[in-house]
Amino acid sequence: MVEMIADVLLVAGALGAGVYCYVLARRLSRFNDLETGVGGAVAVLSAQVDDLTRTLQAAQSAAQGSSRSLEDLTGRAETVSRKLELLVASMHDIPDQPPPAPCQEAEDAPPAPVFSRHSRDAGRAQ
């Protein structure tokens, strides 16, 4: 009799554990649903991380290209700066000369002739 009661309690415990596992499995499947559950949020965040990674890599490659270009331009600017410094230093050796006297034309002289060409459209308009 005691064995029978123990068997009934064991079967009831097994059925209870089975129902509990079934309820947990359904909740877990709803939790991991790709459209409404946390699984969907994880999938969206994963896609966003991939997009951000690609954008970051593109930005890094563009920054490296700009850095190389800037280094080249800086090197060229330094070379030109040195040349300009040498030119300015050599200008100090040239003696100062007075400016040339302006040409004075006779006031009675006729004005210089001015030549102008007529456009082709002006001749056709008449």
Summarised one tens digit per residue, pLDDT across range 80-123 is 999 999 988 888 777 777 777 766 655 566 677 777 777 666 55
Contact 37, 30 (CB under 8 A): yes
Which tokens hold the place of 4? 């029978």
- The amino acid that residue 21 corresponds to is C
Q: Using the predicted structure, report yes or no on whether residue 125 has a pLDDT greater than 60.
A: no
pLDDT of residue 8: 95
pLDDT of residue 31: 79
| Length of the chain counted residue by residue | 126
Alpha helices in the chain (DSSP H): 2-31, 38-91, 120-125
Of 11-25, 43-57, 62-76, 87-101, the one with minimum mean pLDDT is: 87-101
pLDDT of residue 9: 96
Query: What are the CA-CA distances from residue 97 to residues 52, 88, 94 (Å)?
Result: 67, 17, 9
The burial class, CB within 10 Å (0-12 / 13-18 / 19+), for 110 is exposed
Q: From CA 36, how far away is CA 38, in angstroms rounded? A: 7
Summarised one tens digit per residue, pLDDT across range 24-45 is 999 888 877 767 777 778 888 9
Q: From CA 40, how far away is CA 46, in angstroms rounded? A: 10
Query: Per-residue pLDDT averaged across 75-83, rounded?
Result: 95
Q: From CA 89, how far away is CA 93, in angstroms rounded? A: 8
